[in-house]
């Protein structure tokens, strides 16, 4: 603890909430520290943000650019891939399936995305007017 005063701004906690008082022993004497309710709400809900940051750090796109808008685009792209993985994991666990690894999710996403951008193959003209898939 640094002993500095911390200011907290929150929009989801009412001002009428009484600050939580925490007692701590320091050098054999009790000190009373007022802990705002907003801090309790913040630490209780921080797990999802930490998980998203951790997943983002594992497999980020790593694209650096001097243009700020490109950097923001690739950051948001990487973040959306992480969010997609989290949603897919929740879907799999709710349906009793085994969760996949993030790297396999990214590789599967890459395969599906590459299929969109491949040129369409031209269909060969069939002579004789009959269309057969068996070759006869």
20-26 and 29-35 strand pairing: antiparallel
Instruction: Give the span between the Cα atoms of 29 and 23, in whole angstroms.
Output: 10
pLDDT cut 70: percent of the chain above it: 72
How far CA 40 is from CA of 30, 32, 49, 65, in Å, comes to: 21, 17, 15, 38
Cβ proximity of 79 and 71 under 8 Å: no
Can you say how many angstroms the Cα of residue 48 is from the centroid of all Cα atoms in its chain? 8
Q: What is the pTM of this model?
A: 0.53
Q: Which sign does the torsion angle of CA 20, 25, 26, 31 carry?
A: positive
Comparing 10 with 84, which gets the higher pLDDT? 84
Comparing 55 with 48, which gets the higher pLDDT? 55
**pLDDT one-digit tens code per residue, 57-66:** 887 766 777 8
Comparing 48 with 44, which gets the higher pLDDT? 44
Domain layout of the chain by residue ranges: 9-45, 49-115
Q: Mean per-residue pLDDT for 37-58?
A: 76
């Amino acid at each position: 603890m640094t002993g500095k005063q911390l200011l907290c701004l929150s929009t989801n906690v009412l001002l009428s909430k009484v600050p939580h008082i925490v007692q701590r022993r320091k050098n054999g004497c009790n000190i009373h520290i007022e802990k705002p309710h907003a801090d309790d709400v913040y630490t209780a809900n921080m797990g999802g943000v930490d998980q998203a940051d951790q997943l983002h750090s594992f497999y980020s796109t790593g694209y650096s650019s001097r243009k700020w808008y490109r950097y923001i685009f690739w950051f948001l792209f990487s973040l959306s891939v992480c969010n997609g993985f989290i949603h897919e994991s929740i879907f799999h666990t709710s349906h009793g399936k085994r969760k996949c690894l993030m790297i396999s999710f990214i590789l599967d996403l890459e395969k599906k995305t590459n299929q969109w951008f491949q040129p369409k193959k031209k269909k060969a003209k069939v002579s004789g007017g009959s269309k057969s898939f068996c070759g006869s």
